[in-house]
């Protein structure tokens, strides 16, 4: 039985910044409703690869396909129209605004006056669908815990029918309890059919939730594993040894 068409596929991606060769022929893809862990140390090329996928940088060489068709993602607006959302560290929400206003940020309901009744009700519905129980959508985001804030951002992705969500270190600086909450929300998001890319340097956070794990080092893809065919120890060895390993 043949595999489904990847939701997106990046082929032979190269990127230079002056004399710095940031990406060296990287292939990267994800399938519908798949969680892909993108792992590597600082400077590995993770952020550059994702910024190309989300329209921040153009590739200097290589091709990108989305739902089987060639895609020129030359701006974040184009990425958003395709259904790609990116959650950057500490840059996704405005703390002083309410939960509902954050979920609808830039896509508010209403013409002359905001329809807060609909925005509040729909915000609660989206959060509950992901297992996030918050009773008052008019609470300011700054009053929420770190895990709840991530849940609000993920609820926004669910509500606006995002196809692919890119999470940049979503468990960074969270407690063990809050990290577990975010991972549970990601599992629920997967059940709705959303594809996720989980960028991290913490293998212990990404391993439980991922279907597949890709490791970058010095701008190259050096390892790729299906989660059930590898272990945390083998992934760690790949990173330390900088030796290529692939297991589909």
Which pLDDT belongs to residue 8?
96
Which pLDDT belongs to residue 4?
83
Residue written as token pair 């990116």: 86
- Sheet of 164-168: strand order equals 84-87, 164-168, 195-200, 35-39, 212-217, 220-226, 245-247
Q: What is the CA radius of gyration of the chain?
A: 18
pLDDT tens digits, residue range 107-164? 888 878 889 999 999 999 998 888 888 889 999 999 998 888 888 988 888 888 899 9
Element (H, E) at 168: strand 164-168
**What domains sit in the chain, N to C, each tagged with a CATH number?**
8-247 (3.40.50.300)
């Amino acid at each position: 039985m043949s595999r489904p068409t990847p939701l997106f596929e990046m082929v032979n991606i190269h990127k230079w910044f002056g004399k710095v060769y940031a990406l060296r022929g990287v292939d990267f893809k994800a399938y519908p409703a798949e969680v892909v862990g993108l792992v590597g140390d600082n400077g590995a090329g993770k952020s550059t690869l994702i910024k190309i996928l989300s329209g921040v940088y153009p590739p200097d060489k290589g091709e990108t396909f989305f739902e089987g068709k060639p895609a020129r993602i030359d701006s974040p607006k184009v990425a958003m129209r395709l259904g790609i959302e990116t959650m950057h560290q500490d840059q996704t929400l405005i703390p002083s605004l309410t939960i509902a206003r954050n979920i609808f940020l830039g896509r508010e309901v209403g013409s002359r006056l905001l329809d807060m009744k609909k925005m509040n009700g729909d915000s609660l519905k989206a959060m509950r669908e992901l297992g996030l129980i918050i009773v008052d959508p008019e609470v300011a985001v700054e009053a929420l815990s770190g895990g709840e804030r991530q849940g609000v951002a993920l609820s926004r992705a669910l509500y606006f029918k995002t196809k692919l969500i890119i999470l940049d270190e979503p468990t960074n600086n969270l407690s063990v309890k809050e990290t577990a909450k975010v991972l549970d929300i990601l599992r629920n998001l997967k059940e709705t059919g959303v594809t996720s890319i989980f960028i991290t340097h913490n293998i212990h956070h990404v391993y439980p939730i991922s279907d597949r794990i890709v490791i970058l080092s010095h701008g190259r893809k050096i390892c790729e594993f299906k989660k059930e065919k590898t272990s945390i120890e083998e992934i760690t060895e790949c990173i330390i040894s900088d030796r290529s390993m692939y297991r589909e």
